Amino acid sequence: MKPERLPGDAAAYVPETPPRVPATPEIVLDLTRLLSRVRHPTPTGVDRVELLYARTLLARAPERLQFAATHPLGSYGRLPSAAVLRFLDATERRWNVIGGDERAGAAHRHLLASLASLWPRRVVPATRGRILLHVSPSALEDRRSVAKRLRRENARLICLVHDLIPLTHPSFARADGPRRHARRMISVARHAHGVIANSSATASAFTGWLNAAGEPVPKLAVAPLGAAAPARARGAPPIDQPYFLCLGTIEPRKNHLLLLHLWRQLSESADGREIPKLVLIGRRGWENQSVFDLLDRSEPLRPHVVELGRVPDRVLAAWIAGASALLMPSFAEGFGLPVAESLAAGTPVIASDIPAHREAGRGVPDYLDSLDRPGWRQAILDYAAPASPRREAQLARLSGAELPTWEDHIDRALAFIGEVAAS
């Protein structure tokens, strides 16, 4: 997408810079994303990252951590720490235990309790240097509102950028996605004093797009997300035959269509032989009617494809642990968190050969072109075979691999906060 030119002389724009502060500043973590997603009982990848930041900073820097948010009803301010802790506990319980099985009444009570207890309070003037840490794209579209929040905080802004996909691959975005994401990225360019990119691929896309737009490129650090400690799977695998797992929202860029066509071919050529199942976990997204039609109407697929939708994390962990492999044929990703999470759980991965996946999995997964249908078919058949040599080879690579971890990410993020504070 050609960068949108917004009002104002971008080349001459310089963000307001509060005075230099100590290398251990106060950190205000913005929780707008989690609060805005309070109606949803299962998380997106961005949701997981924001909650992990909250939990990790509470453990590693509690004495200098505060929370803030732009409330769904519009007000910005500080969130009471005790209410935030209760909210984090309730959110994790919904994700881990309840998932898509949440009853309407329980969801409504959680919504009302969260919105009431997390009504923003007055921002207390800083007694030392302050960093406003924004780890989601929420509430960044309106540049004037971002500037107003920074003035109230008298803080330096650090943003985590997850991807530029609506701008680099606009055909995979919702209709208004490119316009909205362009405004977010220009807000970041004009107001952030530092940016954390979740991968080198994201950093390259971010700087390239800003340069093309004539916008300033803030101080930048690359910190791959990595995987947190995986949830522990309990009991036997959910089904007693080989299966492959595809994880993520069912949207065009995830390339579910490739897998469904492959499974239809496998079913038609099976001649009564058992074929592995394909398990899809993730909600239905947008502009993907051909995939939805196959899932709803294809008789050859019906015995072999299991669509689970949204499941709690403890159930997800069991499906990951028992899979012959995770399949990720995506056309584009910001980082590829499911790749890192599956490898951390000891499950092999077959992924599209894109930079984000290679950063997440390094030399461990089998990588294939997103459109190489024969290659994907052969890999699936190889991995489904009893005592599969190809699968065993990946497990051997995994056993000695050094992969990105969540602790690595936080170490780099905290170091970068210090760098931005002292600059």
CATH architecture under which domain 26-226+407-422 falls? 3-Layer(aba) Sandwich (3.40)
pLDDT of 287-332, one tens digit each?
899 999 999 999 999 999 999 998 999 999 999 999 999 999 999 9
Percent of the chain predicted with pLDDT > 70: 92
Q: What is the mean pLDDT of residues 70-87?
A: 95
Residue ranges covered by each domain of the chain:
26-226+407-422, 243-400
Q: Output b/e per residue, 191-215; b: 16+ Cβ within 10 A.
A: bbbbbbbbbebbbebbbebbeebeb
Cα dihedral sign, 264-269-270-275: negative
| Mean pLDDT value across residues 220-233 | 82
What is the rounded average pLDDT of the residues 254-265?
Answer: 97
pLDDT digits (tens, 9 = 90+) for 87-136: 999 999 999 887 777 777 887 888 888 889 999 999 987 778 999 999 99
Note the pLDDT of residue 225.
Answer: 92
pLDDT value, residue 53: 97
Give the bridge partners for 37, in sequence order: none
Contact of 181 with 167, CB cutoff 8 Å: yes
CA 337/CA 354 separation, integer angstroms: 13
Statement: residue 262 has pLDDT above 80? yes
**Residue 8: its pLDDT value, please?**
40
Tell me how long the chain is: 423
> For residues 278 and 352, is the Cβ–Cβ distance under 8 A?
no
152: left (phi over 0), alpha (psi -120 to 50) or beta: alpha
What mean pLDDT is reported for the chain? 91
Average pLDDT of span 68-72: 96
For residues 66 and 122, the answer to whether their CB atoms sit within 8 Å is no
Cα 86 to Cα 82: distance, rounded to the nearest angstrom: 6
**HSE (CB half, 13 Å, CA atoms) of 70?**
16
Superfamily of chain region 243-400: Glycogen Phosphorylase B; (3.40.50.2000)
Q: What is the DSSP string of 195-215?
A: EEESSHHHHHHHHHHHHHHT-
Percent of the chain residues past pLDDT 90, beyond the cut: 78
pTM value is 0.90
Spatial CA neighbour of 85 closest among 99, 98, 66, 101: 66
DSSP states of 107-139 as a string?
HHHHHHHHHHHT--BPPPPPSS-EEEEE-SSTT
pLDDT tens, position by position, 378-410: 999 999 999 999 999 999 999 989 999 999 999
Strand order in the sheet with 366-368: 305-309, 277-281, 243-247, 325-328, 349-352, 366-368
pLDDT at 16: 55
Q: What pLDDT, on a 0 to 100 scale, did the predictor assign at position 4?
A: 45
